[in-house]
Chain A
Amino acid sequence: MKLLRQQDGRYEFLFGRREHHVFREVLRAFPVTPLEHHRVTRGETTPALAGAQQLLHEALGDWKQSARRRVEAFLADLRRFAPQGERVRATFTREEMEWLLQVLNDVRVGSWLQLGCPDPDTGQRPQLTPQNARYLPLMEAAGAFEFALLAALDGTEGVGWGAARA
C-alpha cells in the first residue's frame, strides 16, 4: 500500500493485487473486539460508574453497528478500487482515513484478544489454536495498513516496526 499523492485532503494509494485482497479481508472481519472488552473504569464501580459503563456499551455498540454498515457499503462500491494492470488504485478522504484507522484498530485489538493478549516484550507468544489461527495474520495485516495510513497522514515514512508498539 503506497501513497501516490495527497491533494486537497484526498489521499491516493496504490495497492498490489494480493495486498488489495488482504485489505478487503481485514475490513470484512470488522468488528472483532467484543463490547465486553470496553471497560469504563479499572477502579471501584460506584453507581455513577455503573451508569457510565452502560452508556459506554450503548455508545460503542451503536458506533460498531453503524461502522459495520459503512464497511459493507465501502466494500460494495466497485468504483472505489480502480484496477490498473496488476495493481489497484484507491482514493480516500481525510475523514475516511480516520474512520479506516478506527475500523482497522478494532480488528487489530480484537485479534490480539483472540490470541490470548500476547506480549513480545515479556516473551508471551500468541496462543495459537486451529480456531484462532486466522487472527494472527489479521492482527499483523491490520497493523501494517494502519501504519501506512498514519505515515500518509503524517507526511513521513513513520518509524520502524520494532519500536512501534505503545
Chain B
Amino acid sequence: MAEVAVPVQRPEVESGEQTETQRRREPGYLVVCWNDPVNLMVYVTHVFMTVFGWPKPKAERHMLEVHTQGRSVLERGSLERAEFYVHKLQAYGLQATLERDDA
C-alpha cells in the first residue's frame, strides 16, 4: 500500500536577520534635538525645514522649544526611522539623538 503523503506543517522559524529587521521597524523611539549655545537659531529652523520638509512656522515652533525647554521631540517611530533622521540632523551638526519612547 502506497503511503499517503501527509503535508507537514513546519513551525515558522525566523532567521536572525529577519528578527533584527523586524525589531528595527517596531515603533518605540524618539528623535530628540537638544539645545546648545553654538547653533544659530535661523540655522536650526532651516535644518528642520530641509530634513523634515516642514513649513517654516512648524520648524520655528520646534526650534523655539529647543531654545526655551532645552529639547524638542521631532519624530516618533521605529529605530530604523529614528536613525535615519539622527544621521541627517547630525550631518548638519545639530545635537540630535534617538531615545526610547517610554510614554
CB contacts (< 8 Å) of B98 on chain A: these are 40-41, 49, 52
The answer to whether B67 has its CB under 8 Å from any CB of chain A is: yes
Q: Is the CB of B99 within 8 A of A163?
A: no
How many residues of A are in contact with the other chain, CB < 8 A?
44
Considering only CB atoms, which chain A residue lies closest to B63 in the complex? A166
> A119 vs B67: C-alpha distance in the bound complex, in angstroms?
13
> A60 vs B83: C-alpha distance in the bound complex, in angstroms?
12
Task: Determine the main DSSP class of A at the interface with B.
Answer: helix
CB contacts (< 8 Å) of B92 on chain A: these are 101-102, 105
CB contacts (< 8 Å) of B38 on chain A: these are 108-109, 112, 117, 139, 165
CB contacts (< 8 Å) of A118 on chain B: these are 37
**Closest CB-CB distance, B67 to chain A, in whole Å?**
5
Give residues of chain A (148-165) contacting chain B, Cβ–Cβ below 8 Å: 150-151, 153-154, 158-159, 163-165
The answer to whether B25 has its CB under 8 Å from any CB of chain A is: no
